[in-house]
Structure 1
Amino acid sequence: MTNSDGPTIGATIDTDRNLDNILGIPVEIQVVLGSASMLVSNLLKLGRGAVIPLDHRVGEPVEVVVNGRVVARGEVVVVEDDNSRFGVSLTEIVGTGNVSKPEAFN
C-alpha cells in the first residue's frame, strides 16, 4: 500500500484495524505445574484425597503455555490481594531462537 510518494494513509488505518482485530482474539493460557504417568488400573484406584506426585519439585519453574505452546517460565506466587489465589511471576520469556529475555526479567 505504498506509492512513489511513500506510504498511504489508508495503509496505516488498515494496519491499525488489523492489529485491533488480532488483539481481540482470545487465547487459552495454562500454567503447567508438572505431569505424571500412571497405568489406567492405578488411575481407577484413585479416590478423594489421593495425591499424584508430579515430576516437578517445589521451587522449580513452571511453564506458561498459550494455545499449546510454551511461551514463558515462572515461579508460583500467592496473589497479594487474595491469599486464597495463586499467580505466576514470570522469570523467562521463551523465544523462537532470536528473541531474548526482556530487560524486566534479566
Structure 2
Amino acid sequence: MSENADPVPNQEIAPVADSEASPAFEEFGSDTPAVDPGRNGPLTAVNEVPVRVQAVLGRARVPVGELIRMKSGMVLELDRRVGEPVDVFVNNRLVARGEVMLVDHALGVTLTEIVRQDG
C-alpha cells in the first residue's frame, strides 16, 4: 500500500458471484427497478434514505503551491495504474471495488468485488 493511501482496517475482499448479486447493483437501464418503494417489507422505511456514494479513481498528495501552479492539460499523477480497480465508498466506508465503464456517454462503475468489514 502506498503511503498516500488511507488504510482501511479489517477488510476482506470477496468476488461478486452472480448468485450473490444484490438487486441494488443491477445494471443501468434494466427494466426492473433496483428498489421497489411500494413493496411492504422490513426495509421499506429506509428505501428513500439518501446515502453518499463515491468511486475513487486514486489519490495524490501534493503541496498547495504545486496545485495552484497547475494549468489546463497538466497531469496530476495518482497512486493507481490504468486497469486497477476503483474503490467504491458508501458514506465514507469502503464497500466494493470495480471497473470504470461508459454508460450512455456518462461514466459508471461495474462492481467486481464486495469488501466485507469484520468487527
Distance of 2:43 and 2:91 partners within structure 1: 19
Q: Which residue of 1 aligns with 2:96?
A: 72
How many residue pairs get aligned? The number is 80
**Alpha-carbon distance change, 75 to 17 in structure 1, aligned in 2, over 3 angstroms:** closer
Name the SS for the 1:44 alignment partner. Answer: helix
2:85 is matched with which residue: 47, 55, 61? 61
Matches within 5 A, 1:45-60: 45-60=69-84
> Which of these two proteins has the greater Rg computed from alpha carbons?
1
Q: Which amino acid aligns with 1:87?
A: G
Structure 1 segments (4+ residues) deviating >3 Å? none
Q: Which residue of 1 aligns with 2:60?
A: 36
Which blocks of at least 5 consecutive residues in structure 1 are unaligned? 1-15, 99-106
Give CA-to-partner distance per residue, 1:21-49, whole Å, 9 cap, x none: 22210001110000101111111101222
Structure with a larger share of its residues in helix: 1
Give CA-to-partner distance per residue, 1:34-79, whole Å, 9 cap, x none: 0101111111101222211111111001011111011000111122
Q: Flag the structure with more relative contact order, 1 or 2, with Cα contacts below 8 A and sequence separation at least 6.
A: 2
Q: Which residue of 1 aligns with 2:117?
A: 96
Identity of aligned residues (%): 49
Distance of 2:47 and 2:97 partners within structure 1: 22
* Greater mean alpha carbon deviation, residues 42-51 or residues 67-76: 42-51
Compute the TM-score of the two structures, normalised by the length of structure 2: 0.61
Matches within 5 A, 1:6-25: 19-25=43-49
Distance of 2:106 and 2:43 partners within structure 1: 33
